[in-house]
């Protein structure tokens, strides 16, 4: 974990969709995660930073199948130039989307990343942001995943918190991991 990070110009809210935070498919401790993500969104809005909600289009029959209740974004999106929704079909939020163009057009060079799932979409999007030379801040308490079931003959179950920490570790030294979402500071992009 690093010291308090320098301000960031954008918040990427990854796959905070109803299927993953409510009901039988909710990640463990979803209410805590929602509190942290809600605080991040509020902080970004207040500072005039760009807020991009990524929305996963899951396959037919998946909890996040497009246009089903589980697919809907759980947090409200403000209709303004500084807030947008980008749909995606891959773990990496940059792949086959307008995310890089949107960040570049707004002059963003530093992003905070939150949401789910830690070892899938959060990891893939943060890694790609690093590869594209964005500075990436990842608040430890603002991303989550599921418990990983046991794999007979391979491993015991892996608790969700441990899987999330491993995802952070897999990003290496280039990512700035902070303990708490409240430690992320946003700055204005001029798009508000």
pLDDT in tens, 126-162: 999 999 999 999 999 999 999 999 999 999 999 999 9
Specify the 3-state DSSP secondary structure of 146: coil
Average pLDDT over residues 39-44: 97
Specify the 3-state DSSP secondary structure of 35: helix
Choice among 1-10, 15-24, 84-93, 175-184 with the minimum mean pLDDT: 1-10
pLDDT at 191 > cutoff 90:
no
* Segment 57-90, tens digit of pLDDT: 999 999 999 999 999 999 999 989 899 999 999 9
Give the separation between CA 143 and CA 164, rounded to whole angstroms. 7
Task: Please indicate, yes or no, whether the overall pTM of this predicted structure exceeds 0.75.
Answer: yes
E-state strands within the chain: 10-14, 50-56, 83-88, 110-116, 135-139, 143-144, 176-178
**Residues labelled as active-site residues:** 121
Q: Residues 166, 123: contact at Cβ < 8 Å?
A: no
pLDDT cut 70: percent of the chain above it = 97
Q: Residues 30, 127: contact at Cβ < 8 Å?
A: no
The per-residue pLDDT of the chain, averaged, comes to 94
* Segment 88-104, tens digit of pLDDT: 999 999 999 999 999 99
């Amino acid at each position: 974990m690093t010291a308090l990070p320098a301000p960031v110009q954008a918040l990427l809210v990854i796959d905070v969709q109803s299927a993953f935070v409510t009901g039988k498919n909710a990640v463990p401790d979803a209410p805590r995660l929602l509190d942290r993500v809600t605080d991040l969104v509020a902080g970004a809005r207040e500072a005039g930073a760009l807020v991009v909600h990524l929305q996963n289009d899951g396959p037919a029959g998946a909890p996040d199948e497009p246009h089903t209740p589980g697919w809907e974004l759980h947090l409200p999106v403000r209709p303004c130039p500084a807030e947008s929704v980008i749909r995606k079909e891959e773990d990496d939020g940059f792949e086959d989307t307008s995310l890089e163009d949107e960040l570049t057009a707004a002059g963003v060079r530093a992003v905070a990343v939150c949401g789910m799932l830690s070892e899938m979409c959060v990891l893939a999007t943060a890694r790609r942001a690093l590869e594209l030379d964005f500075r990436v801040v990842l608040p430890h308490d603002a991303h989550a995943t599921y418990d990983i079931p046991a794999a007979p003959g391979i491993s015991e179950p892996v608790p969700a918190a441990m899987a999330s920490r491993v995802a952070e570790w897999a990003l290496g030294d280039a990512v700035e991991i902070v303990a708490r979402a409240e430690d992320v500071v946003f700055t204005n992009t001029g798009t508000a």
